[in-house]
A and B are shown apart, each in its own frame.
Chain A
């Protein structure tokens, strides 16, 4: 029982991180149709931004997260404006943009490795990682921060998408690309907004993850795959769904340890999710995919 609760707690924390990661990624994909795997590269760098803010500039954790989020948003905008926008103007197919994104992700990860090195850069832990022991399980303040931050960001973003003008424009464009012109907003503006927002959403998770286990250069591939799976499970076009699916993903990765030895946990969870995606391609909350035409 204790093990179950403990895994539940760590699963919640991990799931919260995944939730933010997949929500940001899913927002971009759902709106633009672009499989922007370079999101993982931005995620990686955001962890390092957080590290610099926290360790070199001695800002507290909240301020570091804020600064890193701003950098992430900027990075997202710069990347899409420098690389994707020219390709869009040449009428490039989505496959082309995906491969460019893949190339960008590889460049970003390896550049990070060259600049910051292989080894994880650890944040100074001001007691946030000291476990608080309760009767049945223990948790760390960091885990609490993670869950609360993720919840807060999710709520804010969902509200923004629902109520604000740009938010509605984003949802409209997700339904049909011509929508942007109809509303009177240029597609370029929507793209910039979506990439800024998407990168920003995942940023707190990047910093917190780096705080937890150190900033590393090569986590990207695994993470973006998890985000993609969560996005599909939650339903493409539903940022809330992506967030929820990310949470479930994190929970199941941990709870899998109840059934499977640790080395097999990844294999188990990925296989399970592959099976689920095949059985329910639209995901749990997905819009029915336009079938044939």
Chain B
């Protein structure tokens, strides 16, 4: 029970975006969050990662109450996320995107660049080494100095996962990693995500494509209108007529917008 979302609700004015959601994410598993558009999936991501504070309920990570903590603190504790629209630093190089994700005080230090430059340079070299290895791992070796804006969409998605890896977070929240990708690109990304589980990461991902979900999910959480309507394996969820009705009656199963 690595991550526990307990009876979490959030309301904006009169709108209840997430309503008493309750589920757990187990260590070293891939959990898929599915549901029609507007079900509140990305809102849940925002709640877990501290970009939103729930109006009621709590979130526990490794039995520690992380409700209401700031996003940067939660990342340091070990939960990191991607965004649907990637939010890469497009004007910076691929390498710089990775370097920015490394935890530690050196990113905020002005003492080191002023007085401890040799020390800083050594530390930077180590980080660059790690970044290059990560680049190789996600399949972007050789693109280190490329300006991020010039990458293809699929490459940018790979980079966003690479960035996540640099944070050394154990729990990775992926917001629609497969959306907008063709079959070739999917064949690059999906094995990568599965390999992450082998690397002892825990994954929570938002996905619309049921084939993909069936292929990789250890657990599926079905969300509609902010409420958790079902938790189980992919088969259990998909064989529930009430849920499939909502799902295929309501939203598209490929594409953007959660």
Contact = CB atoms under 8 A, between A and B. Distances in A.
Any A–B CB pair closer than 8 Å = yes
Interface of A: 291-293
Contacts of A292: 50-52, 71
A174 to B, nearest CB: 14
B233 interface: no
10 contacts: A291-B51, A291-B52, A291-B53, A292-B50, A292-B51, A292-B52, A292-B71, A293-B46, A293-B51, A293-B52
A292 B71 CA distance: 9
Interface in B30-51: 46, 50-51
Contacts of A291: 51-53
Contacts of B51: 291-293
Main secondary structure of the interface of B (DSSP, over half): loop
Nearest to B50: A292
A291 B47 CA distance: 12
A292 B43 CA distance: 13
Contacts of B71: 292
B244 to A, nearest CB: 32
A291 B52 CA distance: 7
Contacts of A293: 46, 51-52
A293 B83 CA distance: 12
Interface of A is mostly: loop
Given A291-B52, A292-B50, 8 more contacts: A291-B51, A291-B53, A292-B51, A292-B52, A292-B71, A293-B46, A293-B51, A293-B52
Interface residues of B, number: 6
Nearest to B46: A293
Contacts, number: 10
A293 B50 CA distance: 10
Interface string B44-70: 001000111100000000000000000
The 10 closest A-B pairs by CB, nearest first: A292-B51, A293-B51, A292-B71, A293-B46, A291-B53, A292-B52, A291-B52, A293-B52, A292-B50, A291-B51
A146 B53 CA distance: 45
A293 B53 CA distance: 11
B157 to A, nearest CB: 21
Nearest to B71: A292
Contacts of B50: 292
B42 to A, nearest CB: 10
A222 B85 CA distance: 44
A293 B49 CA distance: 12
Nearest to B49: A292
B10 to A, nearest CB: 11
Contacts of B46: 293
A9 B232 CA distance: 71
A237 to B, nearest CB: 13
A293 B51 CA distance: 7
Nearest to A293: B51
B250 to A, nearest CB: 24
A54 to B, nearest CB: 47
A137 to B, nearest CB: 46
A5 B257 CA distance: 62
B75 to A, nearest CB: 13
Nearest to A287: B13
Nearest to A175: B13
Interface in B66-87: 71
B46 to A, nearest CB: 7
A291 B46 CA distance: 12
A291 B53 CA distance: 9
A152 to B, nearest CB: 32
Nearest to A290: B12
Interface string B151-179: 00000000000000000000000000000
B258 to A, nearest CB: 14
A113 to B, nearest CB: 42
A291 B70 CA distance: 11
Contacts of B53: 291
A286 B215 CA distance: 49
A292 B52 CA distance: 7
A293 B85 CA distance: 14
A291 B50 CA distance: 10
A291 B54 CA distance: 12
A212 B182 CA distance: 73
A220 to B, nearest CB: 37
A291 B49 CA distance: 13
Contacts of B52: 291-293
Nearest to B53: A291
A87 to B, nearest CB: 22
A293 B52 CA distance: 8
A209 B96 CA distance: 56
A185 B43 CA distance: 31
A287 to B, nearest CB: 10
A33 B214 CA distance: 47
